[in-house]
Structure 1
Amino acid sequence: MSSEFSSATPIAATAAAAIASFLAGMDVLIVNVALPTIAADLGGDMAVQQWVVDGYTLLFAALLLLAGSLSDRFGAKRVFLIGAALFGAASLFCTFAWSMGALVFGRCALGVASALILPASMALINEANPNPRRRAWALALWGAGGASASAVGPLLGGLLTPIHWSFVFAINVPFCLLILSLAPRIAASPRRPIRFDWIGQTLALIGLSVLVAGIIEIGSIGLAAPATLVLLEVGVAALVLFVISQSRVAAPMMPLGLFRIRGMQVALQIGFIMIFNWYGMVFICTMFLQNELHMGAFAAGLVFVPSAFVTIAGNLLGGRIITAHGARFSITLGLSIMIVGFLFEFLTPAPIPVWVIAAGLSIVGFGAAITTPAAAGVVLRSVDPAQAGIASAMFNTFRQVGGAIGVAVFGVIATFLPSLTAALRSVFLASALLLAYVLVFELTRWRER
């Protein structure tokens, strides 16, 4: 192996991981702006549109822990490349979807692919960058990919939807090909002989899917409907059984001992609440801009342009802040900025101007961009290197579960409140309060090692 090839390997692994992080984050939100157009073409009410989003996030969330175990057992590189290939194939399927049911199926396949690539991408960064300073910078790039995608996704959706809504899925294919082209320059990953927790995986998949289905059906058929109650009860029961099983099986997919680590407690709460807020906010924002303000898809996408640039800058700056001041300072700063952004939007009198939404998204995105790589770094530093894959999967599972539940919860709120303006204001207030809770927990109960 030449020295040039060897020196390029960490760069290739970091670049591939950052692109994958961008893809996984973008595909959650790029579809939001296109939903009204897709519904007009293929049909579907609010509940069906929620499933186009949550079909992706649910499978993404429910399979992340299994994917983390697969990454540890078969090697992060192999799992990562299989996920990238599946992502490209599923994107092509969605591009040519002929019905809403087919589109939801394709979105579920995309969720499976994202579950494979995301924990493996973090493991690749960990393997390729053993130096802590270099790893912090690589994680900042990885975080920049995911966080900027959250802002770029709606923008690209707005740009591509007027051409045809299918392009919001077709655009994934070149990115997948780029990842696969980097494969020869990524070093082989170690394999670890671990067992799979099939009982836990089955219970988690059933519990999360049925619970979110129940939440969505609250807005569709009502909380008191027998079908809604059955879904909620079965979902909760399955999740309770999942937690019980994790204390009894020989090889748990979610080792409960990791929850006793304060750094993991902070990171998991941050991951869940940040994405709960962000996905819910973007879902309601795009509905508000198009259905209440009657903006076109392109104009609605432009509202997210400032936050896209601010988020990218925040992630790149976040790596320097972590290196100079540590993860605790970065997390405190990022959460505080996000709270200010949500309160700024909430306290603005109705009707909420478009520029306020754009400014608030930018402030929140900047804070999230500083917080995300710091929280990811806390996960990797808090556990034994042998558990990096499963710990990364837990972190990303909590993020995606938060996103799926955020879309479901705020979608239900939108169906019961008198207007989307009221729904948006409720999102802003709830988000500020939840982040304030995490900030207090982080300041009072965790000290960086």
Structure 2
Amino acid sequence: MEVPSKSSSVPTTFAAALASFLAGMDVLIVNVALPTIAQDLGGDMAVRQWVVDGYTLLFAALLLLAGSLADRFGAKRVFLVGATLFGAASLFCSFAWSMAALVAGRCLLGVASALILPASMSLINEANPDPRRRAWALALWGAGGASASAVGPLLGGLLTPIHWSLVFAINVPFCLAILVAAPRIARSPSRPVRFDWTGQTLALIGLSALVAGIIEVGSIGAVAPATLALLGAGLVALAAFAYVQSKVAAPMMPLGLFRVRGMQVALQIGFIMIFNWYGMVFICTMFLQNELGMGAFAAGLVFVPSAFVTIAGNLAGGRIITAHGSKFSITLGLTIMIAGFLFEFLTPQPIPVWVIAVGLSVVGFGAAITTPAAAGVVLKSVDSAQAGIASAMFNTFRQVGGAIGVAVFGVVATFLPSLDLALRIVFLASALLLVYVLVFELLRWSDR
């Protein structure tokens, strides 16, 4: 193994931060382009949901396996394979000739993101043995993901009027930049790792079937045989997954961690926050373009203020945690998010654009305070030997929440007479879900 040095630390941190940016941006950049894509390639609400969920679902389902692959074959090797696949899948999406081809390409992008994200964090740890350098590098890595929420919708709005294919092609130069930096990234160690292939297969089948079943509720009906079959298969596979995890020697998701009160709080926060956010962004972009008649660029601009406020919240979040602790930070952040959602819900019809922009900013600020505190709770709730798997579980729950959020809120929109009403239901449901988490946190968990 090569000895990490400052000469390898800088390009490694650059490549890792760029990967974090790509993984985050690709969730959001496509939302603004969806109405235009549908005009060219066709497709109903269900197909549009799959364009988003094809990415988030594979991303979520393979994160734990990808982390194990990085340990087994070396983080650098897995990272570069993921970056190459990300570029190739992006090109495939940009030349998609049908919605089916586009969904397939988005699934490949989800696989690539699962490969690069955990590997990128491992590379930072390897290349920055000094704690101060590591903290700086991790801050840049986190900023890469945070800035994606600003750049994603903005780039989508800029590129879609030229041609929607550019929202995927724009990924290629970033992937090439990562590969150019590859020779200066130190070689990663590898070690024997036992893979839980049965658990991984059941998790992938269960999550895919469950999300597909939810989407088909809005497409063909809740009692259609295909819908019931998908939902049933998903639930059975997930139940089998839980059983297998309780029996295998090296489970990919140790069930004992669910009994830890801090993990219970953090996993619920991670799931519900991203469930709300991804679902809301999906419905918001359709509302802004389909109901208000805004162009793609103007719709993208609506999300920009919230992104910059979120970055400011990330900077403030660390200080609040240091000064007042995780429980205070989580309570404050959840309260701010609830206030933001209720502000948007209570606005007279129709919802003005400025209300959406302000509400998103308030919610984003609260989320920026809550997320690092919840991540810190994960690490404090388990011993150091389980820190990696606990963090992977937290990120997996977040991405699963996003996939299910898009599916559920998309179904809600299909049964309501207007997107304005659908958006209000989304705001109210999001607020109520966060109230539940807040009450659970206040009554059943204490920060020690």
Judged with a 3 Å threshold, the aligned counterparts in structure 2 of structure 1 residues 254 and 84 are, in CA distance, closer, same or farther, namely same
Name the residue aligned to 1:317: 316
- Within 5 Å, which residues of 2 pair with 1:229-308? 229-308=228-307
1:52 CA drift (Å): 0.7
Query: What's 1:73 paired with?
Result: 72
Number of residues paired by the alignment? 448
**Structure 1 residues 267 and 14: alpha-carbon distance in aligned structure 2, compared to 1, 3 A threshold:** farther
- Counterpart in the other structure of 1:378: 377
- Greater shift, 310-319 or 287-296, is seen at 310-319
Within 2, Cα distance between the matches of 1:15 and 1:381?
Answer: 28
Question: Counterpart in 1 of 2:220?
Answer: 221
Write out per-residue CA displacement over residues 237-275 of structure 1, whole angstroms, 9 at most, x where no aligned residue: 110111111001122111112222333222211211111
The amino acid that maps onto 1:115 is A
CA distance in 1 between partners of 2:412 and 2:297 (Å): 26
Aligned equivalents of 1:342, 1:116: Cα separation in 2: 34
* Alignment partner, residue 339 of structure 1: 338
1:310 CA displacement: 1.4
Is the Cα–Cα contact under 8 Å of residues 123 and 392 in structure 1 kept in the other structure?
no
Amino acid at match of 2:216: E
Contact 1:341/1:360, CA 8 A, preserved across alignment: yes
Q: Distance in 2 between matches of 1:159 and 1:140?
A: 28
Q: SS in structure 1 opposite 2:250?
A: coil
List per-residue Cα deviations over 1:67-109 (Å, max 9, x = no partner): 1221232233332222122111111111111111111111000
> What's the CA shift for 1:355?
0.1
User: Normalization by structure 2: what TM-score?
Assistant: 0.93
- CA pair 430-351 structure 1, distance change in 2 beyond 3 A: same
| Distance in 2, Cα, partners of 1:313 & 1:180 | 31
What amino acid sits opposite 2:241 in the alignment?
Answer: F
Change (3 A) 1:2 1:243: closer
* Aligned equivalent of 2:156: 157
What per-residue deviation string (whole Å, max 9, x for no partner) do you get for residues 156-177 of structure 1?
1111100100110111112222
CA gap of 1:379–1:185, structure 2 versus 1, over 3 A, is farther
Farther-moved stretch of structure 1 (77-86 vs 320-329): 320-329
**Partner AA of 2:114 in structure 1:** A
* CA–CA separation in structure 2 for the residues paired with 1:14 and 1:346: 41
Deviation by residue 1:129-186 (Cα, 9 ceiling, x = unmatched): 5677765655444333323323432221111100100110111112222333333444
Report the residue type matching 1:372 in the other structure: T
Alignment of structure 1 residues 36-435 onto 2, 5 Å = 36-128=35-127, 138-435=137-434
Question: Is 2:5–2:127's contact at 8 Å kept on the other side of the alignment?
Answer: no
Asked if the contact 1:139/1:319 (under 8 Å) is kept, the reply is no
- Distance verdict in 2 for CA 1:37–1:397, change over 3 Å: same
Range moving further from structure 2, 64-73 or 350-359: 64-73
Question: Cα deviation per residue 1:260-315 (whole Å; 9 max; x = unaligned)?
Answer: 23332222112111110000000000010111111111111111121122122222
- 1:18-47 residue CA offsets vs partner (Å, 9 max, x unmatched): 322221111111111111111111111111
Q: Secondary structure at the match of 1:303?
A: helix
CA contact (8 A) 2:154 2:301 kept: yes
Work out whether residues 13 and 185 of structure 1, in 8 Å CA contact, stay in contact via their aligned partners in 2. Answer: yes
C-alpha contact (below 8 Å) 2:160/2:167 kept by paired residues: yes
**Counterpart residue identity of residue 204, structure 1:** A
- The secondary structure found in structure 2 opposite 1:182 is helix
Structure 1: state its 5+ residue gaps.
Answer: none
Give the Cα–Cα distance (whole angstroms) in 2 for the partners of residues 264 and 392 of structure 1. 10
Contact 2:2–2:187, Cα closer than 8 Å, also in 1: no
8 Å contact from structure 1 (residues 65, 253) kept in 2? yes
CA distance in 2, matches of 1:323, 1:183: 36
Give distance in 2, aligned partners of 1:328 and 1:11: 35
Deviates more, 1:296-305 or 1:122-131: 122-131
CA contact (8 A) 2:211 2:407 kept: yes
* CA-CA distance at 1:2 after TM superposition: 12
Residues 429/405 of structure 1: CA separation in 2 closer, same or farther (3 Å cut): same
Within 2, Cα distance between the matches of 1:221 and 1:195? 41
Q: Is the 8 A contact 1:91 1:170 kept in 2?
A: yes
- 5+ residue gaps, structure 2, are none
The alignment yields a C-alpha RMSD, in angstroms, of 2.4
Point out the more displaced range, 357-366 or 7-16.
7-16
When the two structures are superposed, what TM-score results if normalisation uses the length of structure 1?
0.93
Aligned partners of 2:283 and 2:419 also within 8 Å: yes
Within 2, Cα distance between the matches of 1:151 and 1:64?
A: 24
| Structure 2 equivalent of residue 22 of structure 1 | 21
